Structure 1
Amino acid sequence: MSRRCSLTAKGVQSGHKVSHSNVKTKRKFLPNLHNVTLISDVLGRSIRLRVSSAGLRTVEHNGGLDAWLIKASSSELSTTAVRLKREIEKKIATAAQ
C-alpha cells in the first residue's frame, strides 16, 4: 500500500533533518493518512479511501465528496478520484435527462 492520498495524490516528501550543529541528514516527511469511509449522495453508496487529513478537511469544507470532486480539476486528482468523478458526472447526466 503506497503512502499516497487517494483523493489529492499527496505523497511522501523528502528533506533534511537539521541538528543543532547544522549537520543535515536525509529524512522523509510522510502524509497524515487515515482510512475513511465517505458517502456519495449521487451514487448512493459509501466509498472506502485512504485520505490525508488536509484532504478530508477540504472535502468537508466544500460540502461533501460529490461537490468537492465536481469542483476539482482532473489534473490535480489521483486516478481513483478521477474514476469516481467520471462516475458521479455520468450519474448526474443520466439523472438530468
Structure 2
Amino acid sequence: MSRRCELTGKGPMVGNNVSHANNKTKRRFMPNLNDVTLQSEALGRGVKLRITASALRTVDHRGGLDAFLAKAKDDELSPKALKIKREIAAARAAEA
C-alpha cells in the first residue's frame, strides 16, 4: 500500500534531522494517513478511502465527499477516487 493520500496526492517528503551540533542526517516526513469511510449522497453508500487528516478536514469544510470531488483536479486523485468521481457525476446526470 502506498503512502499517498487518495484525494490530495500528498506523499512522503524528504528532509534532515539537525542535531544540536548541527549534524545533518536524512529523514522522511510521512503524511498522516487514515483509513476512513466517507458517505456519498449521490451514490447513497459509503466509500472507503485512505486519506490524510488534512484532506478529511477539507472534505468536511467543502460539504462532503461529493462536493470535494466535484472541485478536485483529476491529476491529483488516485484511480480509485477518479472512478468514484465519475460514478457520482453519472448519478447526478441521471437524477437531472
What range describes the TM-score normalised by the shorter chain of this pair?
Answer: over 0.9
* Superposition deviation, residue 7 in structure 1: 1.2
* Superposition deviation, residue 23 in structure 1: 1.0
* Superposition deviation, residue 26 in structure 1: 0.5
Distance 2:77 2:49 in 1: 13
Distance 1:82 1:37 in 2: 16
Q: Relative to 1, partners in 2 of residues 1:86 and 1:42: Cα closer, same or farther, differing over 3 Å? A: same
Distance 1:29 1:66 in 2: 30
* Conserved 8 A contact 1:7-1:80: no
| 1:95 equivalent in structure 2 | 95
SS in 2 for 1:69: helix
Matched to 1:16, the amino acid is N
| Structure 1 residues 22-61: aligned runs within 5 Å | 22-61=22-61
Q: Percent identity?
A: 56
Distance 1:13 1:69 in 2: 25
* Superposition deviation, residue 33 in structure 1: 0.7
Distance 2:51 2:5 in 1: 5
SS in 2 for 1:74: coil
TM-score by length of 2: 0.93
Stretches (4+) displaced over 4 A: none
Q: Is residue 68 of structure 2 the alignment partner of residue 68 of structure 1?
A: yes
How big is the alpha-carbon RMSD for the aligned residues of Structure 1 and Structure 2?
Answer: 1.0
Gaps of 5+ in 1: none
